[in-house]
Amino acid sequence: MTDTDNENSEEEVLRPRFKISKTRIGEGEKQAPAASGFEPDKVIYAEIDDEITTIFDQIRRARGERIALVVPKRAVLLQSVVNLKILKKKCDELQKEILIVTMDANGMQLAEKARLKTAERLFEKEENAPAPRPLPPMRGERPTRIMEKKISISDVIHHDKKDMVSSFIERIKEKIKKRKSHPKETRLVFIAPNKQAFFTLILVSVLLLLAIAYIALPGATVYITPKSSVLDPSFNVTFLDYEKNRSAFDNNYSNNILVATYPVNPPAFTKKFTYNATGKVFKGANSRGVITIVNLSNAPWVLAVRTRFQTNDGLVFRIPSEVRVPAMRGSTPGTLDVNVTADEFDASGQVIGTRGNIPPTRFFLPGIKNEENSKKLYGESKTPMTGGVTETVKTVSKEDIEAAKGLIEREINKSAVDDLKRYLEEQNLIRKTNFSIFSDKNLIKISQPEVSIQEGLVGQNLEQFTAVATYTLGGTAFDRSQLVDALKERIANRVDPDKKILKVEEDDIGYRFLDSDPNAGKVRLTATMRAIQMYELDPEKENGHRFIKKITDHILGMNIKEAMTYMQQQTDEIASVDIKTWPMWAPSLPNIADNIKFVIKEDTSN
């Protein structure tokens, strides 16, 4: 055997041929043929709890460019696609090709998303290849647990930059040691400046500053809008007439809300009301024509004077005199032609006039209530009705006068609260007070209005007429600021321990009447004032500091999208979140907690 043969044999022993079963290639790669083989230079066995930093350190130290990484099921490495993408990126930088060998289906899918090659099994040699000599024991081939301290992902990412700085420092240390080991006589030496060394020093200094800036200077501002909710508790409030119950305010040792009230009795109000007349006088002409009355009964039918004949549209026509309609003979109906004249108003009270000029049609008798008889007697016209003219004049009727009195009383009851409020607002401006009026109808007194309408209006041709009403009002006023302060104090005690009051709707107070005692000047109401509370996330406060620290510890160095998703999942405390980074193209948050600033935005839109 020649030396060349010996070398080839030894190489075959040291580098056995492997065949990959069901080789899979990540997205963007072409699928390898089932029969193609992957011949690794090195096989690394990962432990189930090995992190990416430990595995990458083994890959970096391994010799060869083709590495087969055998990973057990449920290993930490296969739980995150981010870890696999980082591993792929760092191995590409080392120009090493990695094959993930695992039976973990989910892990294999994540590896494919990270564009890594995957396989389910690793066989020692192809089926038809001759069996190689037994492998000599190779140090480091068996999986062992690395006992050194684990490094973080950020250390792996910045490893190259740190190596450059470290090597520069080491070179300086070596030069210092050489000078100490070879001492020379001290003498003054003038050296000509070296441009290349000068520019190299500047370049290294700039790179060093950039590396420090990249590690220490990146920052992020997290804008958090805490979740808010509406707080609208109700409280029982006792309103007491101050003059009648002054002692109750001087000796109020209870926890009840007491508010002083004062009577409001403005001067009498006088208002003028205008109403439209509804009476109508017909001045036009009524339509006329001839209808044929048809009798389908076996007996003659007598119709009284002004018997009505009506169309389906409500138009009414009447006969001028009494008529007798002959009975039916055999199969021949009894018929009688009569003249008819339209009424001034139809069945709905509307003027007929020109509407009575209708073509031939059929009429029924609304006076016949029996349905069977109404089918036996009806009328029909064979020629159009003509001569109708529409012309009416409005007049004031007696019904208009009575209706106006009722409308005035309803209008006064409806405007009583507004009348009292306007009067009280004027008094507040004059006396510089802040009184409000109770709007509950149980606490407002309205006198019977005195209505004055011009006499002799009935029957006059008028479109409108006026009426004057005089009435008095009485109510109860209270100091609004006193009530607001009392309610705000009670609401402050109802706020959740981890929340604070963001806004109080002082102008939106609801009341519900309970009972009153006019003789004692006492009124009891339920008052409700709306407030908005939100989570206390101020970092200067205890609850906020604890919450912000929890968030910070979790998102340090995290990808911005993942950090956003994590914070948006805190739905109990956070309504919305936004992140701004510097530099703006930074894909992740800083690894230093002091470089992350939190800004709390208050939302009062509820």
**What digits encode the pLDDT tens for the residues 58-103?**
888 888 888 999 999 888 888 888 888 888 888 988 888 899 999 8
H/E stretch holding 60 reads helix 52-61
Report d(CA 420, CA 471) in Å as an integer: 12
Phi, psi of 389 (to 5 degrees): -135, 135
Taking Cα atoms as reference points, which of 545, 484, 569, 590 lies closest to residue 221?
590
Whether the pTM exceeds 0.75: the reply is no
Report d(CA 83, CA 274) in Å as an integer: 84
Helix (H, G, I), strand (E, B) or coil at 513: strand
* Secondary structure letter of residue 64 according to DSSP: S
**What digits encode the pLDDT tens for the residues 548-585?**
898 999 999 899 899 999 998 887 888 889 999 887 77
Positive or negative torsion for Cα 105, 111, 115, 119: negative
Q: Where are the domains of the chain?
A: 15-133, 159-180+192-216, 218-254+476-606, 269-276+396-471, 284-388
Mean pLDDT across the stretch 135-145?
46
Report angle CA 520, 526, 527 to the nearest 5 degrees: 115
Q: What is the mean pLDDT of the chain?
A: 81
**Residue 81 burial (10 A CB sphere; 0-12, 13-18, 19+):** middle
Phi, psi of 156 (to 5 degrees): -65, -40
Report d(CA 443, CA 189) in Å as an integer: 108
Report d(CA 593, CA 597) in Å as an integer: 9
Report d(CA 352, CA 391) in Å as an integer: 10
Least confident among 19-33, 47-61, 351-365, 589-603:
19-33
For the record, the structure tokens of 192 come out as 């000509």
Least confident among 115-124, 126-135, 267-276, 454-463:
126-135
The answer to whether 534 touches 499, Cβ cutoff 8 Å, is yes
Taking Cα atoms as reference points, which of 458, 517, 530 lies closest to residue 235?
530
Taking Cα atoms as reference points, which of 2, 1, 32, 10 lies closest to residue 19?
32
Report d(CA 319, CA 539) in Å as an integer: 96
pLDDT: is 276 or 223 the higher one?
223
| 386 has a pLDDT exceeding 70 | yes
Taking Cα atoms as reference points, which of 247, 269, 234, 267 lies closest to residue 521?
247
H/E stretch holding 99 reads strand 97-101
